[in-house]
Amino acid sequence: MTARPVVGVFALQGDVREHVRALTACGATAVPVRRPAELDEVDGLVIPGGESTTMSKLSIDFGLYDPIAKRLADGMPVYGSCAGMIMLATTVLDGRADQRSFGALPMTVRRNAFGRQVDSFEAPVAVAGLEGDPFHAVFIRAPWVESVGDEVTVLGTIDRAGADGVTAPHVVAVRQGSALATSFHPELTGDLRLHNLFVEMVREAA
């Protein structure tokens, strides 16, 4: 494993370019992944924000679903932001009946939990393991985590009302082993701490 890992970004849908720029700035070789052969060449994978139901459909249509699921089951490091978090969950609430996720993190996630596009917001989130100030998090039609498995570590929560109008602490960042997920979009902020964390996870996994 070289000091410059190859990190793929799921590129069939979502904010791909922003993640590629952030990963490159963190010392990785970042490449888009649209085909199984491209997946074979990467050491880790980022699943970006976007539309999780569309990602699910396209991953199946392009023959990527099974290869990604196998690589994740074999321990390939993965980071999912927003829709990517949904794609990593074992259980998705308020999704479509035919929606599939990769099940890399034993957790239950609720889609659009904080509301619609007009309810998007920015807020500070203290993320365990990141030095410095709380992370300036951007939430866009964001999910939250309703429950996690015993081995999942909660890295960050936010005390805010959701689409149900109830203000309560909600889990928005989690990790288990080589799988990391946030319900917000670090790639839109210029703060590279989460991408640096993931690149280091990829290096350590090798």
> Would you list the DSSP string of 30-96?
EEEE-SHHHHTT-SEEEE-SS-HHHHHHHHHHTT-HHHHHHHHHTT--EEEETHHHHHHEEEEES--
Q: pLDDT by residue (tens digit) across 121-138?
A: 999 999 999 999 999 999
With cut-offs at 50, 70 and 90, classify the pLDDT of residue 2. Answer: low
Whether 82 sits among the annotated catalytic residues: the reply is: yes
Is residue 127 one of the residues assigned to a domain? yes
Q: Which of 48, 51, 60, 34 is nearest to 188 (CA)?
A: 48
Q: What is the pLDDT of residue 15?
A: 86
Is the alpha carbon torsion for 18, 183, 103, 59 positive or negative? negative
* DSSP structure class, residue 158: E
Q: How many domains does the chain have?
A: 1
Q: pLDDT by residue (tens digit) across 42-67?
A: 999 999 999 999 999 999 999 999 99
Whether 185 sits among the annotated catalytic residues: the reply is: yes
Is residue 30 one of the residues assigned to a domain? yes
| Residue 116 reports pLDDT greater than 90 | no
Whether 26 sits among the annotated catalytic residues: the reply is: no
d(CA 82, CA 70): 22
With cut-offs at 50, 70 and 90, classify the pLDDT of residue 6. Answer: very high
Residues 6 or more apart in contact with residue 66 via CB below 8 angstroms: none
Tell me, what CATH number does 182's domain have? 3.40.50.880
* Angle at which helices 16-25 and 193-205 cross, to 10°: 70
Q: What is the pLDDT of residue 117?
A: 77
Q: Which two tokens stand for residue 159?
A: 């005390």
Is residue 191 one of the residues assigned to a domain? yes
Cα 96 to chain centroid, rounded: 19
With cut-offs at 50, 70 and 90, classify the pLDDT of residue 162. Answer: confident
Q: Which two tokens stand for residue 106?
A: 């034993």
Measured torsion, CA atoms of residues 186, 147, 74, 34, in degrees rounded to the nearest 10: -40
Distances (CA, A) of 5 to 78, 93, 193, 196: 13, 34, 17, 12
Q: What is the pLDDT of residue 32?
A: 97
d(CA 35, CA 123): 36
Is residue 166 one of the residues assigned to a domain? yes
Q: What is the pLDDT of residue 96?
A: 85
Better-scored residue on pLDDT, 163 or 28:
28
Tell me which of 18, 82, 170, 195 is the catalytic residue.
82
d(CA 107, CA 126): 20
Q: What is the mean pLDDT of residues 6-26?
A: 96
Domain extent, residue 119, equals: 6-205
Contact 77, 44 (CB under 8 A): yes
Pairing of the two strands 135-139 and 121-125: antiparallel
Q: pLDDT by residue (tens digit) across 67-103?
A: 999 999 999 999 999 999 999 999 999 888 888 999 9
What does the mean pLDDT of the chain come to? Answer: 94
Tell me which of 187, 195, 200, 204 is the catalytic residue.
187
| Residue 1 reports pLDDT greater than 80 | no
Is residue 101 one of the residues assigned to a domain? yes
Is residue 1 one of the residues assigned to a domain? no
